[in-house]
Each structure stands twice: as C-alpha cells, then as structure tokens.
Amino acid sequence: MCGIIGYCGKRAAKPILLDGLKRLEYRGYDSAGLAVADGTKLNLIRAVGKVSDLEKKGIERPLPGHCGIAHTRWATHGRPSEENAHPHADCGEKIAVVHNGIIENYLELKEDLLARKHLFRSETDSEVIAHLIEEHFDGDLEKAVRMAVQHLDGTFGLAAMHADVPEQIVIVRRGSPIIIGIGEGEYFAASDANALQPYTQKIISLNDDEMAVLHPGGYHIKNLNNEFLEREVEVREGRDDGADKKGFEHYMLKEIFEQPQAIENAYRGRLIESEGVSKLGGLEPVLERLKNLKRLVIVSCGTSFYAGLCGRYIFESLCDLHVEVEVASEFRYRKLKMDGETAVLALSQSGETADTIAAIREAKRKGALILGVVNVVGSAVAQITDAGVYNHAGPEFGVASTKIYTSQLVVLTLMALHVGRYQGLSFSEGSAVIQAIKKLPRQVKKILTDIEHVKKLAQEYSRYKDFLFIGRQHNYPTAMEGALKLKEISYIHAEGYPAGEMKHGPISLIDEEFPTVAIVTQDATFDKMLSNIQEIKARNGRVLAIAGENSGRIADVCDDVIRVPETLPILQPVLNIVPLQLFAYFIARAKGCDIDKPRNLAKAVTVE
C-alpha cells in the first residue's frame, strides 16, 4: 500500500499523476513511482523518498502520453528502495502494475513463476501480479487481469496497463479500496477520492471482486465472472482538500484547531432537547433491534480503539448494556458467541481499515447486528454495516488523528443517549448530557486560547526520552491516546497505563529522567489519582497534570499543571485530550520531526 492514482483522457497524464500523488501524501509513504504509455512503450520512473524526489527525476523525461498509473508505497514486503517501488513490471517491461494490499500466497506464486523463467527485480509481493498478467496476456488486457487475480489470495486494490493497449487501464478490488472518477471525456482511478478533488466529484466505488476497464471513450464494470454490472454514480460534494493549511504550519495543528467545529458537526441536527434524546437517522432502520440490545462489542484499531475504550464507559453510564471492547486485529481469533441481542460497533476513521473490516465480516457470520461510525461517506465500513453514523468532521490529513478522535467520542455519546433513552435513562439525565455536549465547542476553544503555556511546557519536556501517561476510569483511555500521540509524531517512547496498575510494575521505571503525565480531573477517582502522584513524587519523578479548573489541590503536588474546563465525567476525555495533542505537537516541533507524515506510518491501514 498506500496510494493509487490513474488517468485516461486527452490531457498529458504525467502532471495529473504527480498532482494526484501529492494529494495522497498525507496517507504516509516511503517511495513513489509512475508509468505512462506513449503508444509504443511504457515509461517508468520510480524514486525513494517524497513525491518531490520523483518529480525531480521526471524533469529530465517529458513522458508523453495520455494514459498512466502512479503509486505511493508504504513498505510491507521489502525495504524502501527504487527496485521495490511501484509500478512493477513484467519480464519484458510491457506491463505496469500498482497495488495496495497483501498477496498472502506470493511466495508459492513466485516460486512457480521463477520455474517458468520469469525475471523478478524486487522483493515485493506485488510484482507477482505483473508476471501473472504476462502469463495470461494474449492481446486482451482485461481478460489477462481477470485470469491473473483468480490466482491471488489476500487483498488488493490494483491498476494495470500494457504497452500494447496504451489507452486502457484495468482496475480490480478485493478488500482494498479503489474507485473510478468520471470527468468530461476523461476517467480516473484512485484509492482515495482526495486524489481526484480538482478533477471530478463523480465517483463509483468498486465492491469486492469487481473490476473496471477505463479508456478515453468511457468505462465498463464487471464482476470476476465476466458479467457486466450497472453501478450508480455518486456525486460527492466538493470539500476542503487540505491544500491550504490556512496559516497553520502543519495540518495536524490546523486539525486540532478545527475540533470545535468538528464536534459541533457531530451533533448538529441530532439533538432533540424537548425529549432529552438524540436523533440519528442512520440508526432508524435497526431501531427495534437497538431497543432490545443486551450486549455491545466495540471493535477498532489504534486511536479508534482508545475511542472505543472511552465508549465503553459512555455506554455503561447511559445504557443497560454489557459492553466489551476488542482490538479488531484480535477479534476473529476468539471463540465468539453472538445472537440477535448482540451488536458489534466498528469504529474507523477512514472506513477502510483492513482489520476492522475483517472483524465485521466475522461478526456477520455469527449473526450480530453490525453498526459503524466512520468519517468517509461511501467507505467500505459504511457499505457493509447494517446501520451507522457518520462523523461529518471533514477530511483529516495529519497521520496522527486529532479531530476524528474527539468527534468519535461525541458520536458515541449520541449513540449511547439514543439507546439509553429507550432503556433506563431518564429525561433529566438525557437533558444533562445534551446540555454538556452543546458546551463542548466553546470549552475546546477556551483550551486553544492557552497554547503558549502548553508550548512552553513542551519545550521544557522535549529533552526527555521516556514518558509515562496515567489516568483512571474515563481517563485511562485518554492516557493511552496521549501516549500514542507523543510516540507517533515525536518518536519518543511513551507508555499509557491505568494509574491503579502503577504498583504492579511501571513504578520501577520512575526516576528524575522519566516524567509522568497524570490526567487528574475532578471525578470519583480524584483522590486515588492524588495518591498515585504522591508515589511518583516520592521517587523523584517529575509530574505534569492535566487538571480541572476547580482542582485546587493539584498544584501543590505536581511540578506543572495544564488546566481544562470541566464537564460530565463521560465527556471529560473530549476536553482532556486536547492539551495532550498540543503537547505532543509542540514536542515534535521542537525536535524537528515530520509531524504530518511521521516515519513508518500510514493514514489508512488497508492491509492486515
């Protein structure tokens, strides 16, 4: 993986491909490449590093042609190198393939192809696709691709070209997203609609085991049984494509400051104050099943997993449910017992997270009701769930998630309120939640007015090489997410821990060079947290507290304090995470890190 763009039309392909790659840079990658057909041969350029490095290599080569494919790679099989960068070619370098996903049986396929005297030039799993197409090509590229993918086990979103069919691109999907963009006399392929923003808003998302053929005169879609399919064109609204940072130095900081609006977008039009309840149109089709739920299992990965952990406390506070939270990548390895009174709720920022999709499919086999919370309209998770809710937070380009996380917490609260009011939650309790939700945007704005204090502290703390983040109850997941933010973008070792586990191991790490960030807002765990802080101070540990505005005693026991407004305990994580995002950002900035595109990370993890 990571990003694919293809073009067939009347314009020169190379500038469009490079522009598309730049619009996919936010996903994270380590190399890039493109192939353009000039009518007699395919011209390939590949480079390690940024798209700008590829662009520099391409200056010397005009690459005439109106049809091409391009790719940004995030290494899975083989180190980042020019040989391992996409596009990959066949023996005669007439075929070019770009691929997102994992080919699980590539070693067996490669062994067989080597026995047939195929010449391999890379360490990747993806190269076998080009050689398989070569095996089956008899002048019909569509047929050759269809036959080649029958041999593949695993996931793929791929695009292929052939020098002998210079105005044709064939794309196929199984488990990794790929879409068609429809312009005026020109057609596009992409793994992400953001690549197509300046060119078209008319999109068709392929489903699994579907393929399409694009050429300047049009396109057609088939399944892998060679049967034609009719698909409706989706017109997506034009969006801020992130090209303008709006005066901010990084997308991440811009998106941190967009959180008041993202939170408001999450609840706008979804609150019925006169009834103390939320209204979520995406859940209406399954409302009767929701009323009778007894068990909820939340599945997600990374930052979304920590949102799910917060969600457990939210649902348990507002509903009469047994709630479990599972890392999606581990979910299908458990012995699962599910019935009609069980719902599985999948959280995914992109809606294309491979492990989460696999978990959904496993839960479907077991008969559970499948719900989703995603930010991307028309994404895979949105398509395969029974019902769900969109974040409406707008695109997020920083690899380290910020505004989607806080948006997820608000959406989870709306969902719990929706279910809870059909169970034991009273009108007055529901009304209190609604009023607290409505205050969140201005409370976050208040935090963002005090960034100079956070910036100064981050400068002081940037010299440390290790951090411990601790919290209890609702703020245990916040500690985990705060630690993740720091390690993601600054490459500093940071651990998030439930504070009650301090004496069961982590306290042995504490000394004057191992600071602790303690989340200690005013709730039922406040006194316990003070005890944990005292234990750390007794061992010469430096403590930075994220504390409520009214937590007076905290300044007496901590070295440094960042104050946040106070709200209901279930919503406090929305506010507590904001200074931790800023803290991580300013430490990474002080260290000179590539904040928006941290090393080794991808925005959308579309492989398992």
Helix or strand holding residue 190 (H, E) = strand 187-190
Asked whether the beta carbons of 277 and 376 are under 8 A apart, the reply is no
Whether domain 450-594 has CATH 3.40.50.620:
no
> What single-letter amino acid sits at 438?
K
Q: Report the pLDDT value the prediction gives residue 341, as an integer from 0 to 100.
A: 87
User: Which pLDDT band, with edges at 50, 70 and 90, does 57 fall under?
Assistant: confident
> Which residue would you say has higher pLDDT here, 573 or 531?
573
Helical pair 572-590 and 475-490, crossing angle rounded to 10 deg: 20
Residues 118-154 have pLDDT tens digits of 999 999 999 999 999 999 999 999 999 999 999 999 8
Q: What is the DSSP letter of 107?
A: H
Q: Report the pLDDT value the prediction gives residue 581, as an integer from 0 to 100.
A: 98
| Domain locations along the chain | 2-235, 243-443, 450-594
pLDDT, mean of residues 451-477: 95
Q: Report the pLDDT value the prediction gives residue 543, as an integer from 0 to 100.
A: 94
Cα–Cα distance measured from residue 531 to residue 548, given in angstroms and rounded to the nearest whole number: 17
Q: Report the pLDDT value the prediction gives residue 62, as an integer from 0 to 100.
A: 75
**Identified catalytic residue from 2, 67, 301, 593:** 2
Helix (H, G, I), strand (E, B) or coil at 347: strand
pLDDT of residue 189 exceeding 60 = yes
Cis check: omega of the bond before 87, within 30 degrees of 0:
yes
> Which residue would you say has higher pLDDT here, 602 or 11?
11
Q: Which residues pair with 158 in a beta bridge?
A: 99, 172
- Closest C-alpha to 508, from 539, 482, 537: 539
Cα–Cα distance measured from residue 212 to residue 505, given in angstroms and rounded to the nearest whole number: 55
| Residue 241 main-chain phi, psi, to 5 deg | -85, 5
| Residue 365 main-chain phi, psi, to 5 deg | -60, -30
pLDDT of residue 396 exceeding 80 = yes
Q: Report the pLDDT value the prediction gives residue 496, as an integer from 0 to 100.
A: 94
> Which residue would you say has higher pLDDT here, 519 or 600?
519
pLDDT, mean of residues 75-89: 88
> Residues 413, 575, 488, CA angle at the centre, nearest 5°?
100
Average pLDDT of the residues of the chain: 90
pLDDT above 90: percentage of residues in the chain:
64
Question: Parallel, antiparallel, or unpaired: how do β-strands 210-215 and 218-223 relate?
Answer: antiparallel
Q: Report the pLDDT value the prediction gives residue 501, as an integer from 0 to 100.
A: 85
> What single-letter amino acid sits at 240?
D
Cα–Cα distance measured from residue 75 to residue 29, given in angstroms and rounded to the nearest whole number: 8
| Residue 16 main-chain phi, psi, to 5 deg | -70, -40
Helix (H, G, I), strand (E, B) or coil at 586: helix
What the block records as the tokens of 524 is 């039922």
Helix or strand holding residue 538 (H, E) = none
Cα–Cα distance measured from residue 596 to residue 456, given in angstroms and rounded to the nearest whole number: 21
| Contact residues for 573 (Cβ-Cβ < 8 A; gap 6+) | 310, 409, 474, 475, 477, 478
Domain 243-443's class?
alpha beta
| Residue 263 main-chain phi, psi, to 5 deg | -65, -45
> What single-letter amino acid sits at 206?
L
- Closest C-alpha to 304, from 418, 400, 419, 200: 400
Best mean pLDDT range from 142-146, 350-354, 361-365: 142-146
Q: Which residues pair with 43 in a beta bridge?
A: 36
Query: Alpha helix locations (H) across 274-365?
Result: 287-291, 302-318, 328-331, 354-365
Residues 207-250 have pLDDT tens digits of 889 999 999 999 999 999 999 999 889 887 655 444 568 889 99
Cα–Cα distance measured from residue 498 to residue 313, given in angstroms and rounded to the nearest whole number: 14
Q: Report the pLDDT value the prediction gives residue 52, as an integer from 0 to 100.
A: 87
> Residues 560, 593, 23, CA angle at the centre, nearest 5°?
125
Cα–Cα distance measured from residue 33 to residue 26, given in angstroms and rounded to the nearest whole number: 16
> Which residue would you say has higher pLDDT here, 549 or 132?
132
Given the structure tokens 């979520």, which residue do they identify? Answer: 280
pLDDT, mean of residues 489-512: 89
**Identified catalytic residue from 14, 22, 597, 603:** 603
Helical pair 127-136 and 141-149, crossing angle rounded to 10 deg: 120
Whether domain 2-235 has CATH 3.20.20.70:
no
Question: Parallel, antiparallel, or unpaired: how do β-strands 202-205 and 179-182 relate?
Answer: antiparallel
Residues 566-588 have pLDDT tens digits of 999 999 999 999 999 999 999 99
pLDDT, mean of residues 342-368: 87
User: Which pLDDT band, with edges at 50, 70 and 90, does 333 fall under?
Assistant: confident
- Closest C-alpha to 282, from 270, 294, 292: 270
Asked whether the beta carbons of 45 and 87 are under 8 A apart, the reply is no
What the block records as the tokens of 539 is 């061992």
- Closest C-alpha to 171, from 187, 195, 185, 183: 187
Domains 243-443 and 450-594 share a fold: yes
Asked whether the beta carbons of 493 and 487 are under 8 A apart, the reply is yes
Question: Rounded to a whole number, what is the distance in angstroms from the first to the last CA of the chain?
Answer: 11
What the block records as the tokens of 66 is 């109106």
Asked whether the beta carbons of 202 and 190 are under 8 A apart, the reply is no
> Which residue would you say has higher pLDDT here, 516 or 525?
516
Q: What is the DSSP letter of 565?
A: -
Query: Alpha helix locations (H) across 24-86?
Result: 51-59
pLDDT of residue 78 exceeding 90 = no
User: Which pLDDT band, with edges at 50, 70 and 90, does 301 fall under?
Assistant: very high
Q: Report the pLDDT value the prediction gives residue 283, as an integer from 0 to 100.
A: 92
319 is catalytic: no
User: Which pLDDT band, with edges at 50, 70 and 90, does 608 fall under?
Assistant: low
| Residue 364 main-chain phi, psi, to 5 deg | -60, -40
366 is catalytic: no
Cα separations (Å) of 229 from 169, 212, 360, 381? 18, 10, 25, 22
Q: Report the pLDDT value the prediction gives residue 555, as an integer from 0 to 100.
A: 82
| Contact residues for 141 (Cβ-Cβ < 8 A; gap 6+) | 133, 160, 161, 162, 165, 168, 170, 213
> In terms of pTM, does the model score above 0.75?
yes
